[in-house]
Amino acid sequence: MSAGREGLKITIILSLLISSWIILFIPKTLDATVYGKIYGRVVKEDTGEGLKDFIVLLYHYYENRFYEIDRIHTDKDGKFAFDRIKEGRYSLVFVADWECGYFIHESADPEIIKENAFNVKKGQHYKIEKKALLGGELRVFVKNSYGTEFICPSNVDFFIELIGESGMPYGYGPHQNPARPGEYYLKMPPGTYRCEVHVDGYPTQKAKDIRIEKGKIETREFTVDLNDSTGIEGTVISSEDGSPISEIWLAVYDENTNEEICTMRSDDNGHYVVVGLAPGKYRIFCTYPYKTFKGIIVTEGKKTWFEIKIEYEQVESILPISSSGTMASGGPFFFTSQKLIPQIQNININFLPYSKDSI
């Protein structure tokens, strides 16, 4: 009788062990056959040393376009891995931690994502090694019309933008140099750029053909004219009840050259102002709703008063809007704190209309 009980105990124990083995082993076996893996390493081109904290963006092809579905940082050895990848078409974008000074000539441009795409089959392990180039540095000194360093007021938006030869924005700032007030620095891949210094309410300062070379420092100076009183001033109000509307981004264009001169936004009282304009004819483009106001005449030594009436709708979430009127997917972007949502066509944002597990 006791022997039978002992045999039963052994049978139960063996059954439990086998069940545990099945539970632990089979999913891993299925993972290995059903799911793939995308992994690799980001290294310095000159030394082969791994680069830590590169951001790796994973894009998946779905319904005739690529969507970003995940992002991770490389580890201390420059390694990264995306596990449990279902069969499909993917692409990677590598974003540098700009402080490290190494870069990969890629961006989240749809054409580049498409060009770099690859297929992953069931159970396939897809390996990629990326070599990052040593970049250079641009140092920008911004001074005011008095010849001293430009101190940006806390309520004024200020940023420095580098734009590559393709026309794509490549770098943003500012990154203040603590050793020299008014100086900002940006580390960039080798190449030719134009630099733009944007100060809310002042004409954008520009410089072309800036050559960034590996391991070298390039310098430029810009002046923000604080003395000039020639410009445009006004308020942004509701066309329904005349109430002021704050946080509306406006762009001023020269009607003769069609060039964007500057951007600014309305304050808490709906007020806006831009100075430093040359006498001439201008138009103002409003980011919400998309509306252009033409034929604004500016004369020497005066601020032309121009009232902007718009319709708007209040919504629950804030959306980033770029100065070109597209949804911002990175870099400096402009928030409509009144929670205004524009009627946008052909938006370009990174999001998934479904969960990652559903692909």
Assigned architecture for domain 136-224: Sandwich (2.60)
**Superfamily name with CATH number, domain 231-335:** Immunoglobulins (2.60.40.10)
| Residue 109 pLDDT | 77
Using left for φ > 0, alpha for ψ between -120 and 50, and beta otherwise, residue 114 falls in alpha
Quick one: DSSP state of residue 293? E
Cβ neighbour number for residue 34 with a 10 Å cutoff? 13
When the candidates are 3.30.420.130, 2.60.40.3080, 2.60.40.10, 2.60.120.20, the CATH number that belongs to 39-134 is 2.60.40.10
> Quick check: bond before 153 cis, omega within 30?
no
Query: Which residues in 235-270 are b (16+ Cβ under 10 Å) and which e?
Result: bbbeeeeeeebbbbbbbbbbeeeeebbbbbbbbeeb
Quick one: DSSP state of residue 301? T
**Residue range 223-239: average pLDDT?**
86
Cα(324)–Cα(333) distance, integer angstroms: 10
Q: How confident is the model at residue 325 (pLDDT cuts 50, 70, 90)?
A: very low
- Give me the residue label for tokens 């959306």: 319
| Residue 244 pLDDT | 92
Which amino acid is located at 314 in the chain? Answer: Q
Q: How confident is the model at residue 257 (pLDDT cuts 50, 70, 90)?
A: very high
Tens digits of residue pLDDT in 27-45:
555 555 678 999 999 999 9
Bigger pLDDT: 344 vs 41: 41
How far, in Å, are 24, 164, 309 from residue 206 at the CA level? Answer: 62, 13, 31
Can you give the C-alpha Rg of the chain in angstroms?
Answer: 28
189 touches 138 (CB < 8 A): no
Contacts 24+ apart (CB under 8 A), 150-158: 150/182, 150/199, 150/224, 151/181, 151/182, 152/199, 155/267, 156/199, 156/200, 156/201, 157/198, 157/199, 157/200, 157/265, 157/332, 157/334, 158/198, 158/199, 158/200
Tens digits of residue pLDDT in 57-111:
999 999 889 999 999 999 999 999 999 999 999 999 998 876 788 988 766 778 8
Cβ neighbour number for residue 84 with a 10 Å cutoff? 11
Poorest-pLDDT segment among 1-10, 62-71, 182-191, 327-336: 327-336
| Residue 4 pLDDT | 58
Dihedral pair phi/psi, residue 150, rounded to 5°: -80, 120
Q: Is the pLDDT of residue 333 over 60?
A: no
How far, in Å, are 184, 220, 323 from residue 150 at the CA level? Answer: 11, 14, 23
Cα(336)–Cα(339) distance, integer angstroms: 5
Q: Is the pLDDT of residue 356 over 70?
A: no
Bigger pLDDT: 96 vs 25: 96
Structure tokens at 241: 């009840």
Residues with Cβ < 8 Å from 101, sequence gap 6 or more?
134, 135, 137, 187
Residues paired with 42 in a beta bridge: 130
Cα(90)–Cα(265) distance, integer angstroms: 39
pTM for the predicted model, two decimal places: 0.62
Q: How confident is the model at residue 174 (pLDDT cuts 50, 70, 90)?
A: low
| Residue 67 pLDDT | 93
Location of each CATH 2.60.40.10 domain in the chain: 39-134, 231-335
Cα(138)–Cα(268) distance, integer angstroms: 35
Torsion sign over Cα 252, 253, 254, 255: negative
